């Protein structure tokens, strides 16, 4: 993933494309945010879902404090998660 920033357009677009918006179990909207970091002289990127720009920043700060690796991923299975137990 390459992150391309357009500072003059920031916060001027209220309706991201459909692929960049989702809803949580309570039907609150989530938005896709790009994250970029540097390692071994190269730039790398990943993404997160967050409720707002502020929420995305809070999530990044939480990652700085507590991020750990869980292991390598081998597959992904689509499933409906229960909203209440």
| DSSP string of 3-53, one letter each residue | ----GGGTT--S---GGGEEE-TT--EEEEEEEEEEETTEEEEEEEEESSH
Give the tens place of pLDDT for each residue, 3-61: 666 665 555 556 889 999 999 999 999 999 999 999 999 999 999 999 999 999 999 99
Q: Would you give the distance in Å from CA 36 to the centre of its chain? A: 11
φ, ψ (nearest 5 deg) of residue 28:
-80, 140
pTM (2 d.p.) = 0.71
CB 58 within 8 Å of CB 36 = no
């Amino acid at each position: 993933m390459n992150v391309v920033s357009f500072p003059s357009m920031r916060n001027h677009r209220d309706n991201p494309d459909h692929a960049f918006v989702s809803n949580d179990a309570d039907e609150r909207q989530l938005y896709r945010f790009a994250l970029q970091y540097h390692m071994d002289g190269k730039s790398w990127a990943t993404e997160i879902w967050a409720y707002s720009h502020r929420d995305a920043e809070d999530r990044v700060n939480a990652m700085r404090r507590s991020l750990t690796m869980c292991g390598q991923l081998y597959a992904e299975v689509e499933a409906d998660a229960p909203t209440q137990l």
